[in-house]
Structure 1
Amino acid sequence: MPARRISRSAMPIRDPQTNLNTTSNVSHPTIVAMDPSENDDSAVHSQLCQHLRFLYPNADTERLADQVIAIFDDFNSQTPLPLHQLWSQEDCLLITYGDSIIDRDTVPLETLQQFLTEHLKDSVSAVHVLPFCPFSSDDGFAVIDYNEVNPKLGDWSQISQISQRYRLMADIVINHVSSQSQWFQNYCAGVEPGASYFMEANVGDDLSAVVRPRASPLLRPTETASGLKHVWCTFSHDQIDLDFRNPQVLMEFLKIIRLYLQNGVSIFRLDAVGFLWKEPGTNCMHLPQTHEVVKLIRTLTDAFAPGTWLITETNVPNHENLTYFGNRNEAHVIYNFSLAPLLVHALLTGKTEYLKRWMMSMPPAPVGCTYLNFTASHDGIGMRPAEGLLSDEEQLQLVETVGRFGGRISTRRTADGGQRVYELNVALFDALKGTIDGEDEWQVERFLCSQTVMMGLEGIPAFYIHSLLATANDQAGVEATQHNRSINRHKWDWQELQQRLGDESSVHHQVFGELTRRMQLRRRHAPFHPNATQFTLQLSDAFFAFWRQSTDRSQSIFCVHNMTNTTQELRLSDLNLISTDAWYDAISGRRFDEQTTVLEVTPYQSLWITNR
């Protein structure tokens, strides 16, 4: 067996009788009324003071810590869950907008619940409902009011209902707010709350090193009661960056987290958190204060809502992304951003070298941490995480190929004033309709292979709803909004979707049915625990393969994927299967006997070869 990763097989498995994430009976952090006579928050208070002293060295940190504790004054400090109970192989996440499926007779959040109940109750354990607050742009990421649910989607009761059956993941859009928010209106008027909440800069400040995900001007001139100001806009001029150097901004977001906990949210996605703290003259990315804010939030959720997961959204090169595990005291989960561009590249070119090289360089997640594996999202396929992994020529080839399949690109501005590709905007199903040589007949098989790779890897798989549904590029959506990202944000009519899923000849039926079958298979196999041992296998260049072993060492699964459009031969002897065990492919059900020495692996076929 190739020796790459340090085994964690001594780590105990979660007792299935106390599984916290089964779809039938999800257990969430319990909110308990606090009895001051029975509860001592001194340890939490002391830890908060350390965080706050680092962030605000000139402030009265004792008073600030008291203010934080008061926000959670009706929560009891509780014992954090054992690290091995945070997740299991049964965990699988759905990513969706609240209105990705619409029915004219029902509010969208109720339609979403109906879809989950009828089609996914045995397949997913968690649901990420993308921003559900009132907003002014960016499909929810320019929040007007964090305390309200967008009435076009539903209300807090529907949010809470979803959380009763599934772990509910929500966005904390923490870097910026809408220009239409009351905070920003107050800023312009010079009144609190808001007058001191936003990041300002002077036109002459040295901002040349600031990392941007957009090509628009960084500063927005704004007339205020105090005259003309220039406010910081990392993303767009409708998304105004907050100034966390003011501790009251932090307090506002802690109140939002408390509200979300009370409504059933148990997974927090800290959106664009890497940009949070700004210091002119720096690149304003991943500054030490940003990491300290994440640590502070982690301290609070561990103390008052144990079992809550923090996920940091940092669409950046891999080495930067990994820093958000901290010393196991920041994010529980980080996105595996490099997976999507490398996997798409491998499937379009038939070359696995870049994917294998990245896989072999990835460290095992620290105990109590894991990766969130995804291949598509509401944003597109980020290309920054491929920097340093794919050459410029390989990236250009990827861009050109996806462009031929109807995809588009978004760019970012570099420090030298130039532009680079920031993301590919495309529906993943259409991105895989062919190879660098053009379209072919293997689109469904190639797409299923991409999702099966994701399901097998160390970490928790996350399916974007339009991947599950094999949704094509929404070119009409792009024309309507004039935004490239709309290409992968289609809104399905509920009746039409039901018809497509029920039609056996429909590609949507075929893909959805097979993916959910494999999702359910995955849940039954302990080697797919998010922290189970993983080794990269060195087979022929046509194969991307890895070995997973359950944490008690009783079961192995060899995940083998033909990444080409030609049939390949696989010698079982190359896998070093233990001869005393009976082996079979969990996906096809095919069993292997002593006479089986060579397998014919068809284009884009995936195998889960296991001994149990």
Structure 2
Amino acid sequence: MSPVTPSGARADVADLVAAALAARKASTYPGAADLLARARRWGPDLSAGVHAVFGPQSEGLVRRLAEVVVDGWLARPEALRERDVDRLLRPDWFQGPDALGYVCYADRFAGTLAGVTEHVDYLRELGTTYLHLMPLLAPREGANDGGYAVADYRSVRSDLGTMDDLEKLAAVLHDNGIALTIDLVLNHVAAEHEWAAAARAGDPRYRAYFHVFDDRAEPDRFERTLPEVFPDFAPGNFTWDDEIDGWVWTTFNSYQWDLNWSNPDVVTEFADLVLFLANKGVDCLRLDAIAFLWKRLGTNCQNQPEVHGITRALRAVARIAAPSLVFKAEAIVAPGDLVKYLGVGEYAGSVSDLAYHNSLMVQIWSALATNDARLLVRALDSFPPKPTTTAWATYLRCHDDIGWAIDDADAAAIGWNGYDHRRFLSQWFVGAFPGSPARGAEFQVNEATGDSRISGSAASLAGVETALASNDAARLEIALRRLRCAYAVVYGFGGIPLLYMGDELALLNDHSYLDEPAHAEDNRWMHRPKMPWDRVSRRTDPYALEGRMHGVIKHLGEVRRSLPSLHAAVESETALTSNPSVLAVQRRHAAGDLVQLYNFSGDWQRIDDSALGSIRHTDVVDHLTGGTPLREDGQVVLEPYAALWLTTRT
């Protein structure tokens, strides 16, 4: 018998789980008592998340989610249940200084999922503890937004292998201390997905999974405040479909249909998918396009509060049934909005576990272009503290373009014009500004706003390509120093640093994408190369380009693992120094404070000794070199693009 609750009261999730276990004659199964204990712990999050979105009419959904929890748990393999126990005993497994991420496309890295398995030793050599394989669930045929137009969440791309192959890969990764991350696209499905096909066939249940309008009246009202994600090749946010006889909401592309998350059936479907993927061995789900889930007239339909209630409920489902799974929010939004995806107020620590620190990435490139750290400090100072149980995912490059998320107020605070600075950055990183060594390409230029985004590999943006083209050893040295400085910030900021495939070898822009019809119209493929395994063999050669960069990245990881202060529970405090080219970062920890100094210029610089903060009057050591920083006349002297990680010598 199902629990009965008074009108308006919230059913106890643990009672609902107990009832579902009893209905399935599973109350005495091994582990059932632990499942109920987790339901008592995280059930209030599940209930609160659902009620925040659906109000007093949500009891039916809570009951359905409790049943999804039990069914998902019953299907969970024993090896993963053991992993759950380990993770519950070490819930900060993704926060420690030993946490390092590697990001790649399975096909570009190794051809197939089985091929990835063959290169696990390479990942371990880099210190990888977290592998993010870019979209691998079955997409629509033809154009598919790089895999983000999913046609079947329960199948793998046929060219990569099968779901069994994914499960086998996850097991091998786990045996080697590596967690697996894949993408779960939440905002939309491919127009060919079975839900969309049923909607087009006239099934009213599935039509309600989407936002469909009979005429343009309502879409036009929404369009007044909606931005365009891809103004070049997908203008507007709605597409007419003859078969469904209506205008379908399509934020990204005409073949990607936005889901109606105000429909409890959609929430239930995704709760089931979360556990299905967790039961295949996935450790982290990257929640793609999460900011776009909830639609509200008169807004930009991003970052609406209901998004956090939905995420809280889905995370609670996972915590009860598959507690070793964590969520990473793909929310490339303003700082004030971004922290909400990790949880603030009553949501603190109960939404996503990880979130991309997009602002840090943007500000590193900005500081390198200007030789000035002031805007970086101003921007990062606007971030409120995150929950101590969560972590930033820090990165220098990713599969996507770089959007210049420079706040006008932040720019004005240091005497700059935000619009002009964004235009400068775009010109600098395509190499059009005098003196720029960068070689990127503009992506999605918006003529109305003047904004443009940038494609390009980290090495090409840092000047390696230009130096090699001119056969200039001195310029190459500076470019590699620039790249080292940037990655030192990424590895030293705290959280989990993400190394994008090929950066460890200083791979350049790959223009062969122009020869592939499916990629030719999207220049982001220039920084999505295939792994040149013939060049990987040079990674141990200290004189080869690949060896020099690989050595830098490997060393950063090794030093990082030795410093307790790089645990993600600690906040990084950025500070201005007496020299605008030099950034100081302090991390206060019970095991000892860590002070980091970064010179964002290609010249020698000096700063006042006071930048060393709490370790100023002590004997200090730079853990990246093992030596002592140069100090003269009450100042610290820094070589071009220096990166120092300093603690008191013990």
The normalised TM-score by structure 1 is 0.85
CA distance in 2, matches of 1:500, 1:592: 31
Question: 1:489 Cα shift?
Answer: 0.8
The Cα shift of 1:350 comes to 0.6
1:569 to 606, 622, 630: 606
Q: In terms of mean alpha carbon deviation, does 576-585 or 125-134 score higher?
A: 576-585
- When structure 1 is superposed on structure 2, of 188-197 and 177-186 the one drifting more is 188-197
> Partner of 2:314 in structure 1?
297
- SS of the residue corresponding to residue 277 of structure 1 reads coil
Contact conserved, 1:336 with 1:374, CA < 8 A, in 2? yes
User: What amino acid sits opposite 2:216 in the alignment?
Assistant: V
Looking at structure 1, the residues matched to 102 and 401 of structure 2 have their Cα atoms a distance apart, in angstroms, of: 16
Match of 1:514 in 2: 552
User: Any idea what SS the aligned residue of 1:134 has?
Assistant: strand
Aligned equivalent of 1:67, options 56, 64, 67: 64
Matched with 1:403 is: 430
Are 2:521 and 1:488 aligned? no
Deviation at 1:115, TM superposition (A): 3.0
SS of the aligned residue for 1:377 comes to coil
Which runs of structure 2 are paired with 1:591-602 in the superposition (5 Å)?
591=628, 600-602=637-639
Instruction: Give the match for residue 499 of structure 1.
Output: 537
> Is 1:204 matched with 2:217?
yes
Distance in 2 (alpha carbons) for counterparts of 1:190 and 1:112: 42
Work out whether 1:363 is the aligned partner of 2:384. Answer: yes
Q: Structure 1 CA distance, aligned partners of 2:35 and 2:531?
A: 52
The superposition leaves residues 36-76 of structure 1 with CA deviations (integer Å, 9 ceiling, x where unpaired) of 898374775565444334433485x3332222122221528
Residues 77-119 of structure 1: CA deviation (Å, up to 9, x unaligned): 99966765662111111111112223xxxx5223333333135
How far residue 313 of structure 1 moved from its aligned partner, in angstroms, is: 0.9
1:221-258 C-alpha deviation (Å, 9 max, x unpaired) = 1122xx52111111111211111122111111111110
Conserved 8 A contact 1:49-1:65: yes
Distance in 1, matches of 2:569 and 2:34, equals 40
CA distance in 2, matches of 1:349, 1:234: 34
Taking structure 1 as reference, are residues 306 and 567 closer, same or farther at Cα in structure 2, changes over 3 Å only? same
Q: Which residue identity is paired with 2:362?
A: P
Residue aligning to 1:530: 568
Distance 1:56 1:594 in 2: 61
Shift of 1:34: 5.2
Structure 2 counterpart of 1:161: 172
Instruction: Provide the C-alpha distance between the structure 2 equivalents of 1:513 and 1:355, rounded to a whole number of angstroms.
Output: 27
Alignment RMSD (CA, Å): 3.1
Which residue of structure 2 aligns with residue 452 of structure 1? 488
Return closer, same or farther for 1:385/1:91 CA change in 2, 3 Å cut-off: farther
Cα distance between partner residues in 2 of 1:283 and 1:239: 18
Equivalent residues of 1:349, 1:436 under 8 A apart: no
Q: What is the 5 A alignment of 1:92-241? A: 92-102=100-110, 107-121=111-125, 123-136=127-140, 137-154=144-161, 155-156=165-166, 157-164=168-175, 165-191=177-203, 194-201=206-213, 202-205=215-218, 206-207=221-222, 208-215=224-231, 216-224=235-243, 228-241=245-258
**Structure 1's 193 and 131: CA in aligned 2 closer, same or farther, altered over 3 A?**
farther
Identify unmatched segments of 5+ residues in structure 2: 1-28, 75-80, 412-417, 432-437
From the superposition, tell whether residues 433 and 144 of structure 1 become closer, same or farther in structure 2 (CA, over 3 Å).
Answer: same
Deviation of residue 491 (structure 1)?
1.1
Provide the residue aligned with 1:461 in structure 2: 497
Q: Deviations over 1:359-409 (max 9, x none)?
A: 333333222122211111100222236565441111111100111233222
Change (3 A) 1:547 1:193: same
Alpha-carbon distance in structure 2 between the residues aligned to 1:360 and 1:366: 16
Once residues 571 and 308 of structure 1 are traced to their aligned partners in structure 2, the CA distance between those partners, rounded to angstroms, is 46
> Which deviations, in whole Å up to 9, do the C-alpha atoms of 1:93-149 show, x marking residues without a partner?
1111112223xxxx5223333333135345121111111111131221111111012
Find the aligned partners of 2:245 and 2:396 in 1 and give their Cα distance: 44
Cα distance in 1 between the residues matched to 2:444 and 2:409: 17
The normalised TM-score by structure 2 is: 0.80
Supply the distance in 2 between the matched residues of 1:179 and 1:484 (Cα, whole angstroms).
24
How far 1:346 sits from its partner (Å)?
0.7
* Residue 251 of structure 1: aligned partner: 268
Deviation larger for 313-322 or 112-121 = 112-121
- Please state whether the residue corresponding to 2:138 is helix, strand or coil: coil
Cα 1:576–1:47, aligned 2, differ >3 Å: closer, same or farther?
closer
2-structure distance, mates of 1:220, 1:370: 38
Matched, 1:330 2:342: no
Contact 1:45 / 1:65 at 8 angstroms: preserved in 2? no
Instruction: Give the match for residue 384 of structure 1.
Output: 405
Q: Distance in 1 between matches of 2:443 and 2:291?
A: 20
2:16 aligns with none
Secondary structure, aligned partner of 1:468 = helix
Using the alignment, how far apart are the partners of 1:560 and 1:525 within structure 2?
16
**What displacement does 1:285 show?**
1.2
- Between the aligned partners of 1:604 and 1:211, the Cα distance in structure 2 is 38
C-alpha separation in 2, matches of 1:558 and 1:609:
5
CA shift for structure 1 position 435: 13
| Residue in 2 that maps onto 1:476 | 512
**Aligned match of 2:458 in 428, 435, 439?**
428
Q: Which moved more, 1:395-404 or 1:592-601?
A: 592-601
State the AA in 2 paired with 1:393. D
Relative to structure 1, is the Cα distance of residues 585 and 337 closer, same or farther in structure 2, using a 3 angstrom cutoff? Answer: same
Distance of 1:219 and 1:134 partners within structure 2 = 24
In 2, Cα distance between equivalents of 1:352 and 1:322: 22
CA distance 1:37–1:125, change in 2 (3 Å)? closer
Q: Look up the SS of the partner of 2:203 in the other structure.
A: coil
| Pair 1:388–1:508, CA change in 2 (3 A) | farther
Point out where structure 1 has 5 or more consecutive residues left out of the alignment: 1-31
Q: Corresponding residue for 2:78?
A: none
SS of the equivalent of 1:56 reads helix
1:272 deviation in Å?
0.6
Match of 1:372 among 385, 388, 393: 393
Q: CA deviation at 1:479?
A: 5.5
Deviation at 1:171, TM superposition (A): 1.2
| 2-structure distance, mates of 1:37, 1:483 | 49
Whether the aligned pair in 2 keeps the contact of 1:110 and 1:158 (CA below 8 Å) is: yes
1:211, CA displacement in angstroms? 3.4
Q: CA deviation at 1:418?
A: 3.0
Does residue 609 of structure 1 match 2:646?
Answer: yes
Aligned residues: 568
After superposition, the Cα gap between the structure-2 partners of 1:290 and 1:433, relative to the gap in structure 1 and judged at 3 Å, is same
Corresponding position of 2:17: none
Letter in 2 for 1:588: T
- Alignment match, 2:24: none
Once the two structures are superposed, residues 283-326 of structure 1 have per-residue CA deviations (whole angstroms, 9 ceiling, x without a partner) of 21122221211111122223333343222111122222122223
1:561 and 1:604 in contact (8 A); partners too: yes
Pick closer, same or farther for the CA change 1:558–1:145 going to 2, 3 Å.
Answer: same
Any conservation in 2 of the 1:337–1:382 contact (CA below 8 Å)? no
**In structure 1, how many angstroms separate the alpha carbons of the residues matched to 2:569 and 2:355?**
13
Which shifted more, 271-280 or 357-366? 357-366
Counterpart contact for 2:542–2:551, Cα < 8 Å? no
2:65 aligns to what SS in structure 1?
Answer: helix
Q: 2:95 maps to what in 1? A: 87
Instruction: Identify if the C-alpha distance between structure 1 residues 599 and 447 changes in structure 2 by more than 3 Å, giving closer, same or farther.
Output: same
User: Is contact 1:223–1:229 with CA below 8 Å preserved after alignment?
Assistant: yes
Distance 1:412 1:214, change over 3 A: farther
